[in-house]
Chain A
Amino acid sequence: MRDQYREEAPLVVAGRQFSSRLMVGTGKYRDFDETARALEASGTEVVTFAVRRTNLGQSAGEPNLLDVVSPDRFTLLPNTAGCYDARAAVRTCKLARELLDGHNLVKLEVLGDDSTLYPNVVETLKAAEELVRDGFDVMAYTSDDPIVALELEQIGCCAVMPLGSLIGSGCGIQNAHNVRLIIERDSVPVLIDAGIGTPSEAALAMELGCDAVLMNSAIAHSPNPIRMARAMKLAVEAGREAFLAGRMPRRERAEASSPLAGRIAAAKSDIIHPP
């Protein structure tokens, strides 16, 4: 039975078109050189970064992340990592917009506690509402709760990003059923963000129908981040191709791939006499 056959369409987030469906974080690498090489190997076009206080004692010569990861080369996506309430997240987004000369695409994350880094969806919804009103294009990191995911879209978020598992845990997609529910119900792009640990998990996210995936630790904490970045690029492409192609049906019983007719060791009862 041939089921759904899907046509490819470009990834469009808040009116911006992207070829790569792999978005990558810039945290946790050994140094800026490794960061740049990993991003290059991943083929990514969208990279996240954090906003933090400048050390006032710092000398002027020290390189800045944006010197190495240029806004000319990548779409830079500021996050609100480390924010535990809506007010902090909104302030961070406004500072990020100033850092990026008015670019207003942001990754909103409002965390509930520092041990699980699980999203506080109540504060996330509050922040999203205010940010959308202030003209931001909000990609909202959230739980895998399909009701919250739809609510974020209805508030005006341009993408919803349910976690696969806890940030930095590398535990893959804990609730594929919920992720599928979100994909079915939301019209804006759905990205798995957080918890992807292996290329097979990234491919699974894409096979489920995600529009893209966002990851950081999976690449940065691999013993060979450059090689892993390449693997992730291939996995996201493979998963997407698989999704568009449509999977084979599952069966209760076996179905041979080779025909029965003409077997040399056929039993008498098996022999099919031509009419």
Chain B
Amino acid sequence: MKVWINGESHLLSPEMTLAQLLVEKRLEGRRIAVELNEEVVPRSQHDSRKIFHGDRIEVVHAIGGG
């Protein structure tokens, strides 16, 4: 299935959870926050939340800023 991550299209195997996606992209354990279709998905729900074709995902972290 095709999804959008941080504005770029990615091809993923079907039936993935957010947690599995983060592992695949080597982001597990990192200080990040995730949005799925413009809604924040809390860390506690990453294991249970499934991703579907066409989903738009944002993965963000803290950087220096004023």
Contact = CB atoms under 8 A, between A and B. Distances in A.
Contacts of B58: 53, 95
Contacts of B8: 56
Question: Which of under 10, 10 to 19, 20 to 34, or 35 or more describes the interface residues of A?
Answer: 35 or more
A52 B40 contact: no
A126 interface: no
Contacts of A94: 35, 40
B60 interface: yes
A123 B61 CA distance: 24
A81 B33 contact: no
B62 A51 contact: yes
A181 interface: no
A116 to B, nearest CB: 15
Nearest to A96: B33
Interface in B34-62: 34-35, 38, 40, 42-43, 58-62
A39 to B, nearest CB: 11
Contact of A79 (B6, B34, B66): B66
Given A66-B31, A99-B31, A50 B6 contact: no
Contacts of B30: 54, 60, 64
Contact of A95 (B7, B25, B29, B40): B40
A96 B32 CA distance: 9
Contacts of A98: 33-34, 40, 42-43
Interface residues of B, number: 27
Contact of A50 (B5, B26, B62): B62
A51 B25 contact: no
A112 interface: no
A54 B32 contact: yes
A95 B33 CA distance: 6
A27 B5 CA distance: 25
B12 interface: no
A28 B58 CA distance: 24
A35 B64 contact: yes
11 contacts: A25-B66, A28-B64, A50-B64, A51-B63, A54-B60, A56-B8, A64-B31, A64-B61, A76-B62, A98-B33, A216-B66
Given A28-B64, A98-B43, 8 more contacts: A49-B65, A56-B8, A64-B31, A65-B63, A81-B65, A97-B40, A168-B66, A214-B66
